[in-house]
Each structure stands twice: as structure tokens, then as C-alpha cells.
Chains A and B, each alone.
Chain A
Amino acid sequence: GENVEQHPSTLSVQEGDSAVIKCTYSDSASNYFPWYKQELGKRPQLIIDIRSNVGEKKDQRIAVTLNKTAKHFSLHITETQPEDSAVYFCAKKLQFGAGTQVVVTP
């Protein structure tokens, strides 16, 4: 089955700085790469996704980049704000990464 590795497991950033989370995968078959955000005590929510026919997608302060050759995709959050504090998960096919706890300090 698909193996998805996510790094780092925790990320502490100062408000206003950027955060980058990376996921690597092993199976090239799937063409869909989503990212989910889970706030404490809440359900995971889809925040951005990308298909393999593009290399980058942006939505306001978040972006996802895909490197099919290297088999990794990354989530970029710019101008971080305290409300960005949450756990972020990548996913591929049916498997989720282990998650990255992002803490944005004022």
C-alpha cells in the first residue's frame, strides 16, 4: 500500500513567519494530493489540494507544491497567524501522514 511520510512532526513559528511541511510518498499511481487542517477537538478539514497536472496551487496565504520526480509535496503557509495553530495532515490515496503540530507564537 501507499506509504506517506510527513515532516516535521512539530513546527513552532513566530507570527508573520512562514511554515513549510513536507510529505514524501512511494506510489506514483495517484494523481491527487490533499492537505487537511485539524484544530484541537475538531474534525479534519480539507484546506487545499493539488492534482498531478500542475506543480503549484495557491489559495491566499496557503500553497501546495508538487515535485513528482522526487515524489514529495509540500504545504506552505505564509504570514502565519495564531489561528493557523493546528495539526496539519497530508494524504495520498487512503493513507494519511502522521501530522505536523504547528504552533504560531505571537
Chain B
Amino acid sequence: DTGVSQDPRHKITKRGQNVTFRCDPISEHNRLYWYRQTLGQGPEFLTYFQNEAQLEKSRLLSDRFSAERPKGSFSTLEIQRTEQGDSAMYLCASSLGLDGRGNYGYTFGSGTRLTVV
């Protein structure tokens, strides 16, 4: 499978627990993005990496959220002390990076649906 893979597909957790999600991008893609989507809304930007460098993080993102991409391949997104408001679909996407022609479109994974109870 050469698509973007996310694990797990679903996660139910109790409020206050920590959760970690994993994303495996398309191998040729050096950019990796995390988004959050709630019902009826567009994807909300969280953070993105170019190779292993985290280049931008949303100002809306609290310090309970952290992401890593240690070897420039897969990435993890951790949410500490989960709250009910964290319930959402967490989408990972990857793309080629900038070249002289600018940006490229995303390939999204199927997402991880988080439910905080």
C-alpha cells in the first residue's frame, strides 16, 4: 500500500488520559501535516514537518499537543490530559515539498477518530 497510513483508526479514551497517534506518509513525500476535523467543518491545521523539522505549529494548538517526526519518515501526534473538546477526527496528510513551482497537493490518510469520554 503506497498511501498514507494512520493508526489506530479509532480511539476511545477517558478524559485526562494521554493518547498517541501514528502516521506513515507516502515514502517519497518529505512534507507531513496534521489536521483536526470535526463534523461539518473543514480540516483545521495543527502542525507540519519538512523532513524531520517541525516548521509550523498552529497558535490554536495548546501545549497539551505535541508532534514528532524523528527520522523524517513516520510521525506521532500526542495529546496529553485529553479533554472532551479534543474529540475529533485527526487527519494526517503528506506531500512533496517545495520546488521551483511551489507547493503540491496533499494525500490524506483515513484518519484517527478520537472520542474522549
Contact = CB atoms under 8 A, between A and B. Distances in A.
A46 B106 contact: yes
Nearest to A2: B45
B42 A99 contact: yes
A89 B102 contact: no
A96 B42 contact: yes
Interface string B64-98: 00000000000000000000000000010000000
A51 B102 contact: yes
B54 interface: no
B21 interface: no
- Leading 7 A-B pairs by shortest Cβ distance: A46-B105, A96-B42, A32-B103, A43-B108, A31-B102, A94-B45, A32-B102
Interface of A: 6, 30-32, 34, 36, 42-46, 49, 51-52, 89, 91, 93-99
Contacts of B107: 46
Contacts, number: 50
Contacts of A31: 101-103
Interface of B: 33, 35, 40-45, 48, 56, 91, 101-111
A97 B106 CA distance: 15
* Chain B interface main SS type: loop
Given A44-B108, A96-B43, 8 more contacts: A31-B101, A31-B102, A32-B103, A43-B110, A44-B106, A95-B45, A96-B42, A99-B41
Contacts of A93: 103
B105 A43 contact: no
